[in-house]
Amino acid sequence: MRNAIESIALPAGAIAAALGVFGGIVALAGVDPVEVWVLLFRGAFGDSFSWQNTLQRAAPLMLTALCVAIPARAGLIVIGGEGALVLGGLACAALAHALPLPTNLAGTLLACLAGALAGGLWMALAGWLRQYRGINETISSLLLAYVAIGLFKHLVEGPLRDPASLNKPSTPALDEGLLIGTIAGSDVHWGLVVGVLACAVAGLWLRFTPSGFSVRVVGGNPRAAQLVGLPATRLIALACALGGAAAGVAGAIEVAAVHTSANAALIAGYGYAGILVSFIARHQPLAIIPVAILFGGFGAAGSLLQRRLGLPDASVLLLQGIAFVFILASEALRERDWKGFLALFGRFGPSEPMPLPPLAPRPGTGDQA
């Protein structure tokens, strides 16, 4: 019960503290913080239009958060989901341009599969570098993200560029039959359903399958995993590949449902925001769903803050950064032994007396007991 309360209370308290600090910062700029908080809620969940905008932004966040959460269950901190996302979108657009895909659901699935394959292979490289070359996966995945973005820009602005895209270099647009439509009666595309299903499947896989349990053992106690003969290297590569595949699908869906082609608009920071979502959810796939919706709402409210109060649209990025700092601080508080800390200062109650060492017999007294 204590762990369950901490899992909910600490992230909620961190978000509340971040909102308070953000309100103090905007107050220094001469803006009423209460009005900012109200507009954040209205822009995210105030009406049906706000909800649709929020859910549309939440779809890629769910998948990029899985790119962090699944490797984290194997003991890795991978933060290069942005690279897997852009390469997944590029692979989707390139395959549709290179091959005559059927313009139906099968063709869309093949294009998304290409995105998943590209993202999975790219993130598996970070796991391979960690296991075989001893390179820290946090640093390597972040650097690989920058490499992926550079490769993306080179191909989009060079060999794969559509000559008709003048001011905004893009790949050729996907055929109408390959595009992902919206859910009936709304502007939310089917990528939201894909994200929810991916989180649900990942949670069930980690919880109820032998391979998922093995991944959790490797992440929880690597020495125990070695003692029982688990293939740690293979499992780590699998976790990285699955996480990268989720981010690659996010990029493919953004191309097939939002942009219709691969261009610079795909580099929107969803991969970096997914890091925050995963940490707030404590790398639990099912908890990622509500957290992604919350931060999708923050992103949706940015334009409303700009229109009503004159704040920059990117001010929500400041809020996300503050929230990330408080989340890391809350994780540090979670690991603190509060009982021992309070007992040290006499605030927890009377401490038990320290037992005295046994008395040694005096020499020459004849007491040999």
With cut-offs at 50, 70 and 90, classify the pLDDT of residue 312: confident
pLDDT greater than 70 at residue 29: yes
Q: Taking residues 103-112, what's their average pLDDT?
A: 94
Alpha carbon distance 136, 126 (integer Å): 8
pLDDT for position 306: 84
pLDDT greater than 80 at residue 162: yes
pLDDT greater than 70 at residue 355: no
User: C-alpha angle with apex 276: 272 to 280, nearest 5 degrees?
Assistant: 165
Instruction: Write out pLDDT tens, residues 226-245.
Output: 888 899 999 999 999 999 99
Helix axes 270-280, 81-98, angle to 10 degrees: 130
For residues 117, 120, 121, 127, the Cα torsion angle rounded to the nearest 10 degrees is -170
By the 8 A CB rule, do 233 and 74 touch?
no
With cut-offs at 50, 70 and 90, classify the pLDDT of residue 114: very high
Distances (CA, A) of 57 to 114, 145, 253, 285, 346: 22, 21, 12, 18, 50
The domain ranges of the chain are 31-334
CATH of domain 31-334: 1.10.3470
With cut-offs at 50, 70 and 90, classify the pLDDT of residue 309: confident
Return the half-sphere exposure (C-beta side, CA atoms, 13 A cut-off) of residue 131.
Answer: 21
pLDDT for position 239: 96
Alpha carbon distance 247, 242 (integer Å): 9
pLDDT for position 235: 94
Amino acid at 254: E
Residue position matching structure tokens 């290069």: 80
Closest to 279 in 3D by CA, of 268, 292, 296: 292
Instruction: Give alpha helix (H) positions in the chain.
Output: 2-28, 33-45, 48-73, 81-98, 105-133, 137-157, 191-208, 210-220, 222-227, 232-254, 270-280, 285-309, 315-334, 338-344
Instruction: Write out pLDDT tens, residues 51-69.
Output: 999 999 999 999 999 999 9
pLDDT for position 248: 97
Mean pLDDT score of the chain: 87
Look up the pTM and report it.
Answer: 0.86
With cut-offs at 50, 70 and 90, classify the pLDDT of residue 307: confident
Alpha carbon distance 299, 173 (integer Å): 26
With cut-offs at 50, 70 and 90, classify the pLDDT of residue 73: very high
Instruction: Write out pLDDT tens, residues 128-140.
Output: 999 999 999 999 9
pLDDT for position 345: 44
Instruction: Write out pLDDT tens, residues 254-281.
Output: 999 999 999 999 998 899 999 999 999 9
At residue 112, the 3 state secondary structure works out as helix
pLDDT for position 360: 52
Contacts of 362 (CB under 8 A, 6+ apart): none
By the 8 A CB rule, do 132 and 272 touch?
no
Residue position matching structure tokens 């929810």: 196
pLDDT for position 350: 45
Q: Taking residues 191-204, what's their average pLDDT?
A: 96
Alpha carbon distance 132, 137 (integer Å): 11
Alpha carbon distance 291, 115 (integer Å): 24
